[in-house]
């Protein structure tokens, strides 16, 4: 991987995940700076990874080549407009924010800088992340490669062809860990309602999910419906559960939820 100086503006969950992936994969920590208004998260990152920290975004940017915008979407305008007060010539920008498109980000930054939008997810914390990336045609291949490699340090990364596809990545991979957690919560709660204790219920759902996820990853040549069929014995218990999900239109519910996430991402570009 190329070595460039990277500044993370915002030192929250996603920044912590990406920094941890980078450092664990051998990226030099002295090339990484994180900036955040409060010192607690910075201190933790400095202690754990030996990176540089600052409470001054301008300082972080001045000292770096690649600037990762990692604040909440509602703060992005304020943060970018403030950064635009200093010279940003020669910097490459990376956004990990949901729902703010490249045009809007460049407008906030006040110039036509190279910008790559990315959409990671929280499993990046365990180096099991999934990141979608989009870059406009004007972005250099070497900048694209650098950012792709950076996001690959926390899991899998994939380019999407058009910017609106980032919203599909949000609905399918960025937000979806929460869908799975909700599903597991519902199963754990019902196992408890049926009389199972909390720890045993948790153990049952988490190990079933882990095993199922690994089966999916180890059988890429099999359709997901085939893996489902392998569990579903004719006339058995699973068949009844699946029949119940289908008669309650689970597939439509999932599509509706994903559409709601996409709609929100589209609204956010207008709102923030
Ligand atoms: N949490 C998730 O699952 C995912 C989040 N994202 C995106 O990542 C971005 C960050 O999300 P998280 O890390 O979850 O949020 P977070 O709230 O954990 O981190 C944001 C950090 O920005 C800091 N901050 C606030 N004002 C600032 C300022 N003026 N200058 C510098 N830092 C400032 C906050 O103190 C906080 O530490 C968001 O834009 C979100 O859309 C993307 C994919 C997944
Ligand atoms: O909920 C959100 O807006 C962010 C983007 C994907 C996951 N969390």
Which residue, chain included where needed, has tokens 């407008």?
Answer: 107
Domain shared by 150 and 180, yes or no: no
Instruction: Report the separation in Å between the CA atom of 210 and the middle of ligand 1, taken as the mean of its atom positions.
Output: 28
Report how far residue 117's alpha carbon sits from residue 268's, in angstroms, rounded to the nearest whole number.
15
Ligand 1 site, residue 264, Cβ cutoff 6 A: no
183 and 243 both lie in a single domain:
yes
Nearest to 123 by CA among 11, 20, 41: 20
Kindly report the pTM of this predicted structure: 0.96
Query: Chain-wide mean pLDDT for the chain?
Result: 97
Closest C-alpha to ligand 2, atom 8: 175
Closest CA to 164 of 101, 112, 119, 118: 101
Would 1 be classed as within a structural domain? Answer: no
Please state, as a whole number, how many other Cβ atoms lie within 10 Å of the Cβ of residue 198.
Answer: 11
In the structure, what pLDDT confidence band is assigned to residue 35 with cuts at 50, 70 and 90? very high
Is the CB of 169 within 6 Å of ligand 2?
Answer: no
- With a CB cutoff of 8 Å and minimum separation 6, the contacts of 183 are none
Each residue's pLDDT tens digit, 147-178: 999 999 999 999 999 999 999 999 999 999 99
DSSP strand pairing (115-119 vs 129-135):
antiparallel
- Residues 155, 130 contacting (CB under 8 angstroms): yes
Helix ranges restricted to H, the chain:
13-24, 39-49, 57-62, 73-83, 102-109, 141-152, 165-169, 176-193, 198-218, 224-231, 237-247, 250-271
For residue 226, the tally of other CB atoms under 10 A from its CB is: 10
Average pLDDT over residues 127-134: 96
> How distant, in Å, are the alpha carbons of 15, 115, 135, 136 from that of 140?
24, 10, 9, 9
| Residue 40 burial (C-beta neighbours within 10 Å; 0-12, 13-18, 19+) | exposed
Q: Is residue 57 within 6 Å of ligand 1 at its C-beta?
A: yes
Is residue 135, in this structure, part of any structural domain at all? yes
Distance 74 CA to ligand 1 centre (A): 10
Residue 200's pLDDT is what?
A: 98
Average pLDDT, stretch 29-34? 98
Does position 269 have pLDDT exceeding 90, yes or no?
no
Query: Probe ligand 1: pick from 71, 116, 168, max atoms within 8 Å of CB?
Result: 71
Residue 217 has pLDDT above 90, yes or no: yes
Kindly state whether residues 46 and 75 are assigned to the same domain: yes
Do residue 25 and residue 145 come from a single domain?
yes
For the chain, how many structural domains are there in total? 2
What average pLDDT does range 132-155 have in this prediction?
96
Measured from the alpha carbon of residue 260, the closest ligand is 2
Element (H, E) at 115: strand 115-119
Determine if ligand 2 sits within 6 Å of the CB of residue 131.
no
> Are 156 and 205 within one domain?
no
Instruction: Tell me whether strands 32-35 and 155-159 are parallel, antiparallel or unpaired.
Output: unpaired
Rounded to whole angstroms, the Cα distance separating 68 from 15 reads: 9
- CA nearest ligand 1 atom 4, residue: 121
Q: Which residue range is the domain that position 257 belongs to?
A: 176-270
152 plus 203 within the same structural domain: no
Q: Which ligand is nearest to the CA of 96?
A: 1
Q: In the prediction, which pLDDT does 235 show?
A: 97
Residue of minimum CA distance from atom 5 in ligand 2: 98
Query: pLDDT band at residue 208, thresholds of 50, 70 and 90?
Result: very high
Which among 103, 130, 165 is the end of a domain?
A: 165
CA 124 – ligand 1 centroid, Å = 14
Closest by Cα among 257, 254, 258, 253 to 171: 258
d(CA 46, CA 152): 22
CATH code of the domain in which 208 resides: 1.10.3730.10
Distance from residue 166's CA to the centre of ligand 2 (Å): 12
| Among protein residues, the one whose CA lies closest to atom 18 of ligand 1 | 12
Q: Could you tell me if the CB of 123 is within 6 A of ligand 2?
A: no
Helices 141-152 and 13-24 sit at what angle, rounded to 10 degrees? 90
Q: Does one domain contain both 26 and 157?
A: yes
- Residue-wise over 54-82: b if at least 16 C-beta within 10 A, else e? beebeebbeebbbbbbbbebeebeebbee
**123-127, 146-150, 179-183, 212-216: the lowest-pLDDT one:** 123-127
Per-residue pLDDT of 43-69, as tens digits, reads 999 999 999 999 999 999 999 999 999
Cβ–ligand 1 contact at 4 (below 6 Å): no
For the chain, report the end-to-end CA distance as a whole number of angstroms. Answer: 34
Q: Among residues 143, 165, 187, which one ends one of the domains?
A: 165
Residues 98 and 59 in one domain: yes
ipTM for this model: 0.98
């Amino acid at each position: 991987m190329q070595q460039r100086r990277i500044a993370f503006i915002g030192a929250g969950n996603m920044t912590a995940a990406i920094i941890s992936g980078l450092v664990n994969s051998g990226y030099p920590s002295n090339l990484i700076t994180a900036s955040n208004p409060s010192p607690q998260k910075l201190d933790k990152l400095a202690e754990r990874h030996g990176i540089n920290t600052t409470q001054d975004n301008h300082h972080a940017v001045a000292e770096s080549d690649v600037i990762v915008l990692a604040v909440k979407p509602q703060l992005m305008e304020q943060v970018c407009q403030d950064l635009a007060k200093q010279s940003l010539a020669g910097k490459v920008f990376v956004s990990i924010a949901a729902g703010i498109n490249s045009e809007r980000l460049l407008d906030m930054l006040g110039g036509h800088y190279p910008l790559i939008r990315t959409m990671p997810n929280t499993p990046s914390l365990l180096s099991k992340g999934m990141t979608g990336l989009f870059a406009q045609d004007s972005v250099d291949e070497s900048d694209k490669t650098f950012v792709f490699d950076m996001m690959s340090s926390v899991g899998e990364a994939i380019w999407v062809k058009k910017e609106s596809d980032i919203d599909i990545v949000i609905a399918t991979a960025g937000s979806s860990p929460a869908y799975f957690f909700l599903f597991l919560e519902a199963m754990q709660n019902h196992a408890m309602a049926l009389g199972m204790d909390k720890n045993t219920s948790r153990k049952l759902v988490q190990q079933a999910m882990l095993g199922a996820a690994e089966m999916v990853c180890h059988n890429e040549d099999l359709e997901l419906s085939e893996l489902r069929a392998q569990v579903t014995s004719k006339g058995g218990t699973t068949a009844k559960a699946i029949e119940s999900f289908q008669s309650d239109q689970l597939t439509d519910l999932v599509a509706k939820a994903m559409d709601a996430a996409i709609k929100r991402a589209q609204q956010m570009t207008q709102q923030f």
